[in-house]
Structure 1
């Protein structure tokens, strides 16, 4: 999720655990810091553009490593504030803050490697967009109340966390409904993979991505107009090209990281590799240019992901569905 959501989640969890044992402002600060720490992996260069992409949400998001780090941070906090008697309580608070960070991230589609160091598999439920105000606002409101009314801090934090968690549950239920709808109206009888994710900032309009050997289909399903037939746009892919470069290290990495939801096309002497999960209508967040020579590092293409056009298109779809 976005940084604000993680900050609010971390601060809310910390306040809920610490209550009024320490000043609420102190708890809010350390909860926000701990909620941000896992995402600092973006500051480290993994070697090339694709490595940077797939290494995000890796070791710093693995509960195994976070569990090892949490007592060290808790000890530091209790030492700084001269609160040795509260070390165990800080340990519990920091542990929960650090572990809820990747658990929230795994609800998005990006890919979080929760199983490191035991498995390198990226996990992503994909039921919520990376930024969703309806998830973040309850947390933020609860923190504002906790800040201004310390005597209500635990109840305010619990209310914010409860509402945001209920919204996550709703997003998963809505996704499963959309998945069933997609499976009942496939554009072709044989498909390889089906992905259903929300369009930006909402859980009402869902994007359906269907991979086949010949290419991929993209369609949209609105919960505001559940009876409308699904219409798909087909984007052909060169099956021979995919097979020829299946073992290319960069193609293989994106293929594994995206669980097969990628496109590959030839453009002159270059190969254009796209992760199809993040974006829509050929407007994608992650596209790379590479060469058949695997020793040449892949280059990220300038992001053509135009959020303004995406939002305008979504508004048209939602208005049409009403």
Structure 2
């Protein structure tokens, strides 16, 4: 999830564990510790961009790392707050719960987490976009209400727990909505007599009303979207995998790395004799079959006999605003 959501979650968990002893300092310490797993973005700056993408939400989001780091943070916190009666065990539990809930929250997003590192499997429920105001804003409101109460006031814990319950309930609600949408897509695929190998369903940015799907078939993918305000049948667009375009370089290390990053959800396109590896997990920004744009694309080049991949730059602000406008129109129904 986005940084604000993780800060609020860390602050609320910290408030729940030690708020009665150290008051709003528990919120401050929780907010700080809640950002630690995402520091992989910083050390990724010292790596090549592709490797930085590969390791994101990997080791730094694993339970093994949290078990190692929590006693260290607990020792530091116990030294800082021992005058308030905070012992090492409490401080270690405080740190572990904040770190672990950070990773569990990311589990609900499309990117997912390598929770059981060193296993390579990434766990991803894909039921919530990385920024969702309906998750973050109510949570933040309840946290602020809790902060306004003294550490011994019963209402402080009431408001904090309410925020935790409401935000967690919303996460599980997204799973329910996702299952309903999945049935909608599966029904339409059946009506269209499309036989498929795998299907994923995920929300569009900032909401859980408009959903998209990637459907893997033998030689490509069908993509489609569905809004709860739709009145017409779901339409699917076919995207060929076109693996034949990279058949002579498929064993190159960078191609294998891209396949691992995309978790097998990719297609190859060619434009003006240039090859592009497109990660399909995060959708298509422009569905025009003659000028298709993907959220993440990498240009494949050969330099001095070595195969390299360069990520295409993000769209500028004007294009992003245009895309958001299209998203809003589409959300209102087909």
Distance 1:291 1:196 in 2: 32
Point out the more displaced range, 157-166 or 41-50. Answer: 41-50
Judged with a 3 Å threshold, the aligned counterparts in structure 2 of structure 1 residues 79 and 244 are, in CA distance, closer, same or farther, namely same
Distance 1:35 1:4 in 2: 10
Equivalent residue for 2:325, pick from 312, 316, 319: 312
Distance 1:267 1:192 in 2: 28
Is 1:69 the counterpart of 2:79? The answer is no
Judged with a 3 Å threshold, the aligned counterparts in structure 2 of structure 1 residues 213 and 249 are, in CA distance, closer, same or farther, namely farther
Tell me by how many angstroms 1:111 deviates. Answer: 3.1
- Partner SS for 1:19: helix
Q: Which residue of 1 aligns with 2:164?
A: 161
How many equivalent residue pairs? 318
RMSD (Å), alpha carbons: 2.1
Is 1:183 the counterpart of 2:186? The answer is yes
Distance 1:142 1:278 in 2: 31
Judged with a 3 Å threshold, the aligned counterparts in structure 2 of structure 1 residues 241 and 131 are, in CA distance, closer, same or farther, namely same
Distance 1:173 1:242 in 2: 39
Q: Which residue of 2 aligns with 1:37?
A: 36
Equivalent residue for 1:272, pick from 243, 265, 276: 276
Distance 1:29 1:94 in 2: 12
Distance 1:167 1:223 in 2: 18
Distance 2:258 2:68 in 1: 30
Q: Which residue of 2 aligns with 1:96?
A: 97
- Are the equivalent residues in 1 in contact too, given 2:300–2:308 (CA < 8 A)? yes
- 1:288-318 deviation line (CA, Å, top 9, x unaligned): 1122568354222111374322321122123
Distance 1:93 1:108 in 2: 24
Q: Which residue of 1 aligns with 2:301?
A: 291
Higher RCO (CA-CA < 8 Å; seq separation 6+): 1
TM-score, structure 1 normalization: 0.91
Distance 2:70 2:256 in 1: 34
- 1:133-162 deviation line (CA, Å, top 9, x unaligned): 001112201211122123232111111111
- 1:202-241 deviation line (CA, Å, top 9, x unaligned): 111100112334332221111233x631111223342422
Structure 2 gaps of 5+ residues are 287-292
Judged with a 3 Å threshold, the aligned counterparts in structure 2 of structure 1 residues 254 and 214 are, in CA distance, closer, same or farther, namely same
Is 1:220 the counterpart of 2:233? The answer is no
TM-score, structure 2 normalization: 0.88
- Partner SS for 2:194: coil
- Partner SS for 1:57: coil
- Partner SS for 1:21: helix
Distance 1:272 1:116 in 2: 30
Q: Which residue of 1 aligns with 2:289?
A: none
Q: Which residue of 1 aligns with 2:174?
A: 171
